């Protein structure tokens, strides 16, 4: 009877969600939210490079906090310093720069860990002028791009960081049209469980499809609320994190008949 009472009591308690301050861009927004065990950690970060670019990243790390904190700090410091250095110039090749950012992060992780320490990472550079994201997915959960065509998975472009000293993931570029959004979630979110059932990426897609027009903050908050409802108070074994880039819908778009008459 005591075990049943304790289970019922825990089911009514939800872990506190931490919302990172949103980064408001020109017609877009970056935001993140997370909850989970204090003994586990991942890196989610975003920051402005200049008037036209912003960088964001989500890095999953296995293991207890006391072992991974130094690695996370090294990865974040390198992400920020190399990102500012390599992506600041207006005419920079974003794909080459993002690959080099991940190369430097990989080097920092290996030097800090002093051993093989797999670190899947999804890192992207949003170009506010072009409305594009140049991204590297080093063995991470696929990014999800939602636009008028539906949802597209942005799968792995290389191996996780922290494995090989000379490993480099490729970079790809996708367009994020007005009204579209890009969502990246941690492995802990996808693997959140209720009994033997996993939350899963298909469930994330279904929820994401029902959020057109919402800000990045709203997307992250609504998704994590759904995860908490699914888990019914069961403690999360790993960090549950979502990071989102959302573009606003264009105001008062021209009717399609008028748009056809405009010059290209």
Q: What pLDDT sits at residue 209?
A: 95
pLDDT of residue 93 exceeding 70: yes
CA 25, CA 10: separation in Å to the nearest integer? 40
Q: What pLDDT sits at residue 3?
A: 35
Domain ranges of the chain: 18-249
Torsion of CA 55, 59, 64, 70, to 10 degrees: -50
User: Residue holding tokens 């021209």?
Assistant: 254
Predicted confidence (pLDDT) per residue in 179-203, tens digit: 999 999 999 999 998 888 999 999 9
| Percent residues over pLDDT 90 in the chain | 67
Phi then psi for residue 226, to 5 deg, are: -65, -40
> Band of the pLDDT at 107, cuts 50, 70, 90?
very high
**DSSP string covering 181-192, please?**
EEEEE-HHHHT-
Phi-psi group of 200: left, alpha or beta (phi > 0 → left; psi -120 to 50 → alpha; rest → beta):
left
Q: What pLDDT sits at residue 65?
A: 62
What secondary structure letter does DSSP report for 244?
Answer: E
Q: Range with the lowest mean pLDDT among 38-47, 95-104, 122-131?
A: 38-47
The pLDDT mean for the chain works out to 86
Element (H, E) at 71: helix 65-87
Average pLDDT score over residue span 40-53:
86
> Band of the pLDDT at 234, cuts 50, 70, 90?
confident
pTM of the model: 0.86
Per-residue exposure over 113-138, b if at least 16 CB sit within 10 Å of its own CB, e if not? beeebbbbbbbbbbbbeebbbbbbbb
> CATH number of the domain at 18-249, please?
3.60.40.10
> Band of the pLDDT at 110, cuts 50, 70, 90?
very high
């Amino acid at each position: 009877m005591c075990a049943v009472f304790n289970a019922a009591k825990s089911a009514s308690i939800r872990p506190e969600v931490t919302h990172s301050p949103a980064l408001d861009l020109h017609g877009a927004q970056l935001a993140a939210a997370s909850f989970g065990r204090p003994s586990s950690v991942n890196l989610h970060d975003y920051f402005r490079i200049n008037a036209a670019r912003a960088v964001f990243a989500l890095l999953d790390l296995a293991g207890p906090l006391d072992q991974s904190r130094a690695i996370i700090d090294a990865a974040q410091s390198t992400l920020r310093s190399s990102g500012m250095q390599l992506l600041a110039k207006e005419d920079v090749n974003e794909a080459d720069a993002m690959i080099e950012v991940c190369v430097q992060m990989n080097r920092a992780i290996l030097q800090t860990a002093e051993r093989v320490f797999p670190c899947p990472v999804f890192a992207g550079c949003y170009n506010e002028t072009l409305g594009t994201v140049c991204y590297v997915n080093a063995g991470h959960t696929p990014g999800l791009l939602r636009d008028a065509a539906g949802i597209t998975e942005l799968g792995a472009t290389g191996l996780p960081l922290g494995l090989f000293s000379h490993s480099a993931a490729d970079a790809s570029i996708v367009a994020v049209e007005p009204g579209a959004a890009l969502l990246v979630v941690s492995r802990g979110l996808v693997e959140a469980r209720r009994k033997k059932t996993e939350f899963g990426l298909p469930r994330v897609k279904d929820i994401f499809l029902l959020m057109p027009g919402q800000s990045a903050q709203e997307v992250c908050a609504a998704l994590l609320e759904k995860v908490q409802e699914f888990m019914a108070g069961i403690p999360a074994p790993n960090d549950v994190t979502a990071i989102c880039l959302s573009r606003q819908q264009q105001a008062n778009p021209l009717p399609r008949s008028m748009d056809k008459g405009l010059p290209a």
